[in-house]
Amino acid sequence: MTVIDSGDGTILDIKNLTVAYQQAGEWLEAVREVSLRIQGGETYGLVGESGSGKTSLVLAVMRYLEETGSIRSGEIHLGDLDLLALDDNQLRQVWGKQITLVPQNPQSALNPSLQVGDQLIETLRHNLNLSQEEAERQAVEWLKTVRLPDPGRVAAQYPHQISGGMQQRVMIAMALCTDPQLLILDEPTTDLDVTTQAVILDLIRDLTQEQNTGILYVTHNLGVVAQVCDRVAVMYASELVEDAATQELFSKPLHPYTQGLIDSIPRMGDTKDNIQLRAITGQIPPIGEAPSGCVFRTRCPVAVDICLTRPPLYPAGESRYSRCHRWSDIDQGEISAHQPTPAAIPEPIKPDSGQHPDLKVKELTVHFPLLRSISDWASNRPSSEVRAVNGISFELSPGHTLGLVGESGSGKTTIARTIMGLEEKLSGSIELLEIPLPDKLSRRDLDTLRLLQMVFQNPEEALNPHHTIAETLRRPLIRLSGLSDSEAESRMVELLQAVRLPASYAGRLPGQLSGGEIQRVAIARALASNPELIILDEPVSSLDVSVQATILNLVGELQADLGTSLMFISHDLAIVGYLADQIGVIYLGSLMEITGPDDLFQSPHHPYTEALLSAIPLADPSRKGEPIHLGGEIPNPVDLPSGCPFHTRCPRYLGEICATQAPPWQVAEETGKQIFCHIPLAELSASQENMIAERSKLSN
Q: Please give the residue ranges that form the binding site for another protein (CB under 8 A).
A: 420-422, 441, 446, 449-450, 452-454, 456-458, 461-468, 472, 475-476, 479-480, 489-490, 493-494, 497, 503-504, 506-509, 512, 522, 525, 529
Q: Which is nearer to another protein, 319 or 468 (CB)?
A: 468
Task: Kindly state the helix (H) or strand (E) to which residue 365 belongs, with its residue range.
Answer: strand 359-369
Minimum distance from CB of 572 to another protein (Å)?
Answer: 20
d(CA 695, CA 581): 21
Which regions of 283-358 does DSSP assign to beta strands (E)? 314-315, 321-322
Exposed/middle/buried for residue 498 (C-beta within 10 Å: 0-12, 13-18, 19+): middle
DSSP alpha helix (H) spans, 445-484: 446-451, 459-462, 469-479
- Of 449 and 654, nearer to another protein (C-beta) is 449
Q: How far apart are CA 654 and CA 656, in angstroms?
A: 7
Q: Are 77 and 83 in contact (CB under 8 A)?
A: yes
Q: CB of residue 61 vs another protein: minimum separation in angstroms?
A: 31
| CB 382, min distance to another protein, A | 23
327 vs 456, which CB is nearer to another protein?
A: 456
For another protein, the closer CB: 115 or 458 = 458
Among residues 160 and 466, whose Cβ is nearest to another protein?
466
Are the C-beta atoms of residues 522 and 455 closer than 8 Å to each other?
A: yes
Shortest Å, Cβ 487 to another protein = 11
Min separation Cβ 436 and another protein, Å: 18
Give the shortest CB-490-to-another protein separation in angstroms: 5
Select from 4, 5, 68, 75 the least CA-distant residue to 34.
Answer: 75
d(CA 666, CA 569): 24
Residue 156 or 446 with smaller CB distance to another protein: 446
Q: How far apart are CA 239 and CA 293, in angstroms?
A: 12
Q: Which residues of 394-423 are buried (b: 16+ CB within 10 A; e: fewer)?
A: bebbbbbbbbbbbbebbbbbbbbbbbbbeb
Alpha-helical (H) ranges within 85-221 are 88-94, 106-109, 116-128, 132-145, 151-155, 164-176, 194-210
Say if strands 214-219 and 182-186 run parallel, antiparallel, or are unpaired. parallel
Distance set, CA 381 to CA 145, 384, 637 (Å): 41, 9, 18
Q: How far is the CB of 565 from another protein (least distance, A)?
A: 16
CA distances, 605 to each of 128, 367, 659 (Å)? 49, 28, 20
* Contact indicator for 326, 352 with CB cutoff of 8 Å: no
Nearer to another protein, 325 or 525 (CB): 525
Between 415 and 691, CB nearer to another protein? 415
Angle formed at CA 161 by CA 159 and CA 167, multiple of 5 degrees: 45
The DSSP element (H or E) to which 39 belongs, if any, is: strand 26-39
Q: In terms of CB distance, is 174 or 526 closer to another protein?
A: 526
Is the bond into 604 cis (omega within 30 degrees of 0)?
A: yes
* CB of residue 450 to another protein, shortest distance in Å: 8
Q: Which is nearer to another protein, 441 or 681 (CB)?
A: 441
Q: How far is the CB of 399 from another protein (least distance, A)?
A: 22
* Separation CA 262–CA 253 (nearest Å): 9
| Residue 169 one-letter amino acid | R
Provide the minimum distance between the beta carbon of 93 and another protein in the complex, in angstroms, as a whole number: 36
Rg of the chain on CA atoms, in Å? 27
Q: How far is the CB of 622 from another protein (least distance, A)?
A: 41
Return the number of the residue (363 or 487) whose C-beta is nearest another protein: 487
Q: Give me the least distance between CB of 471 and another protein, in Å please.
A: 9
Nearer to another protein, 490 or 690 (CB): 490
Rounded-to-integer distance, Cα 444 and Cα 429, Å: 15
How far apart are CB 461 and another protein at their closest, in Å?
A: 4
Of 109 and 493, which has the nearer Cβ to another protein? 493
Do the Cβ atoms of 545 and 49 come closer than 8 Å? yes
